[in-house]
A and B are shown apart, each in its own frame.
Chain A
Amino acid sequence: MKKFDKERVLLGLAAPLLAIVAAFLVTALVLAATGKEPFSAFGIMFDYGVKSDSQVYIINKATTYYLAGLAVAIGFRMNLFNIGVDGQYRLAAFFAAALGGALTLPGFLQIPLIIITAMIVGAMWAGIAGVLKVTRGVSEVVATIMLNMIATAIIGYLLQPGRLGHLDSAGTKVSTTPLPESARFFDFPTQPDPVWGFLIVAVLAGVAYWFTLSRTRFGFDLRTVGQSGSAAEASGVNVKRMVVTSMLISGAMAGLIGMPTLLNDSYEYSGDFPVGIGFTGIAIALLGRNHPVGIALGALLWGFLERGTGKLEFEGYDKEIVGVIQGVIVLCVVIAYEVVRRYGLKRQQRQVGEKLAAQARNSDNQEVSA
């Protein structure tokens, strides 16, 4: 059986590697076709990506992406497509920032309060889609897309001077009231730039995700629903409740996405708070195959690509190439995973069939000789 496993690991690694190689090939072709020299571009990206400040940047970026990947992955493990992570984290970060700006408590109270607010808001927003799905049969894909748009409108309405918005002194930027010093999360004093302390929370979230899914009854039930809703139902899982619960958890996790930025970086929610990370999360969850370690690697890869292409612009390339690389990676990776999955399944069936046939032959022979 051990050998079996080793081959499975190999197969598991084959897919993402294939995809990344394919992506770089395609990108090289695109670069070459548009009259740029591809290999020095990759050289620049790589050299730059391994510099110490780049590493800090990548880790900080990856912290956010990792949380996004986890939030999406929870849904995916359930076969739920939470396209709404995007709206959930924005709404969550917005309310958390508004609350954080309004209060001045000691840090040990205020920071958890902000984080919990974000998680609750994210969970509630995702929960709407969950409830609509189980009670009214509305596809979560459509519901979460609508909710994303509605979240944008709500934030737009509330983020106005006179409501929850706060106009800066130059009169050009509205944001929530900036968080007081006490509400800022700690940094690791790395050089030259600090690594965000929220990394710790992300790591903990990853461990919790792994442990819950693979070591607890709840996680087993959740995965069961993801693999076969009908079998889960028959096995005693309350599928409807599980749908709502996992949407809530996914939303709560989504609530964390905006926190590294809010608590370690911007300290306020304004019009330029990052958008679209929910969709990045989808890409990263796909890349990491919903596995906590895989998602981490995916998040780091994304951070690396963004860092590296930032340098490309410095060297006269168009940094928009990063979109091409990322897009190709995602498309290749989903295809590669599927091909490998199917191949693995077929191969295993065949192996099992052959082994059993061999056993049967052996026993037949023995009977004959007996």
Chain B
Amino acid sequence: GQSSTEAGGSDEGKLKVGMAYDVGGRGDNSFNDSAARGLDKAKGEYKAETKELTAKSGETPADREQRLASLAEGGYNPVVGVGFAYKDAIDKVSAKYPKTTFGLIDSASEQKNVASIVFTEEQGSYLAGVAAALKSKDGKVGFIGGVDLPLIKKFAAGFRKGALDTNPKADVTVQYLSTGTDLSGFGAPDKGRAAAKGMLDKGVDVIFAAAGGSGAGAIEAVAAKPGTWAIGVDSDQAKDPALAKYSNSIMTSVVKNVDSGVFDLITSVKDGKPKTGTNSYSLAEDGVSLTTTGDHLKDIQAKLDEAKKKIVDGSIKVPTTL
């Protein structure tokens, strides 16, 4: 029979950007939203035509391949896969569509026509660790990870290192909400809250929650106890309308500027010089950073800048595993 995409055919000249989001998609107030911001910017500046598709939970590699292929076949170029789950799918699909540039967020592909966009989460987390250690009264700080995935462990490792480098006597508690392939830890605010309360009960007074949706629960628990701080993740959580009530307890958020990664990629394609290889967005190029909403970091900004400088110049190496 006829193939679904034969009609496609790419009309050269017009910039068409295809986005394949991870589970959650646009509107997740987090990672995917950040990517979407990059897309929106391109849409505004370059009048790009866009198509956005979203993964659903429990799908197979084949589903992701299908999603990417349908975008590529539809003439979208670049096609961006948001999230490391797209790695294998992009490896395969990019081989089939050599003329299309693919963007892969948070993972690295060896294919020629793939631009891998990775972030040094551990560096951002390191700064969070520094901030936490400085703000904590007696050095007890906590890390809540949604699921014990390597990506989350990167956050944990950086945070711990930052805290210990700042205050060698710091006590860093690390807690994951679920483990392995059970991803419920990313969507269970009640668990985040219970874990945070457990830490608070033990005297922890700064908690960094890299736990997706569960982080809201942790922030809520922190907000209920005066004199304690929460650190958000992925997007500026102090500006998250869902957390507006607690924004005064959110010291800062470690953000990955996926939007600039996405926008840069789109720009490179538009300019006819598509990026390839691994593009690392590190602290140096503000690929990761701490937000300053609420100005809670003012008093320690100098120390943070100093730590940042050391990381950038390489005198501090931040580990990626615990």
Residues of A that sit less than 8 Å from B by CB: 48, 50-55, 57, 60-61, 64, 90, 152-153, 155-157, 159-161, 167-174, 191-192, 261, 265-266, 271-277, 306-307, 310-311, 313-314, 319-320
Contact = CB atoms under 8 A, between A and B. Distances in A.
B122 to A, nearest CB: 9
Contacts of A271: 85, 149, 180-181, 183
Nearest to B106: A172
B181 A156 contact: yes
A54 B151 CA distance: 34
Given A172-B106, A310-B63, A157 B54 contact: no
B2 interface: yes
Contacts of B62: 57, 60-61, 261, 265
B182 A152 contact: yes
A349 to B, nearest CB: 44
A192 B3 contact: yes
Contacts of A60: 62
B61 interface: yes
B314 interface: no
Nearest to B25: A313
28 contacts: A51-B4, A61-B60, A61-B62, A152-B181, A153-B179, A155-B181, A156-B178, A156-B180, A156-B182, A157-B179, A160-B148, A169-B108, A170-B108, A171-B151, A172-B150, A173-B84, A173-B107, A173-B150, A192-B3, A261-B60, A265-B61, A271-B181, A272-B85, A276-B57, A277-B58, A307-B66, A313-B53, A320-B56
Contacts of B148: 156, 160
B70 interface: yes
A172 B153 CA distance: 9
Contacts, number: 123
A272 B85 CA distance: 7
A314 B53 contact: yes
Contacts of B54: 313, 319
Contacts of B320: 171
Contacts of B59: 274
Given A170-B116, A275-B58, A52 B66 contact: no
Interface of B: 1-5, 51, 53-54, 56-63, 66-67, 70, 74, 84-85, 87-88, 106-108, 116, 118, 148-151, 154, 178-183, 278, 320-321
Contacts of A159: 180-181
B56 A266 contact: no
Contacts of B66: 57, 307, 310
A291 B88 CA distance: 36
A50 B1 contact: yes
Contacts of A320: 56
Contacts of B150: 161, 167, 171-174
Contacts of B108: 168-170
Given A90-B181, A261-B61, A265-B62, A168 B107 contact: yes
A307 B56 CA distance: 13
- Please give me the 3 A-B residue pairs with the lowest Cβ-Cβ distance, nearest first: A156-B180, A51-B4, A170-B108
Nearest to B71: A314
Contact of A266 (B88, B106, B151, B182): B88
Contacts of A54: 4
Nearest to A269: B181
Given A51-B2, A170-B108, A311-B4, A266 B61 contact: yes
A310 B179 contact: no
Contacts of A55: 1
Contacts of A306: 63
A51 B1 contact: yes
A169 B1 CA distance: 40
Given A169-B108, A271-B149, A51 B58 contact: no
B282 to A, nearest CB: 14
A306 B60 CA distance: 12
Nearest to A274: B60
A168 B87 contact: yes
A265 B180 contact: no
Contacts of B56: 319-320
A48 B4 contact: yes
A277 B151 CA distance: 26
Q: Which residue, B51, B87, B118, has most C-beta atoms of chain A within 10 A? A: B87
Contacts of A155: 180-181
A268 B106 CA distance: 19
Contact of A152 (B3, B53, B106, B180): B180
Contacts of A174: 149-150
A243 B58 CA distance: 30
B180 A172 contact: no
A170 B84 contact: yes
A170 B151 CA distance: 10
Contacts of A48: 4
Contact of A52 (B3, B57, B70, B179): B3
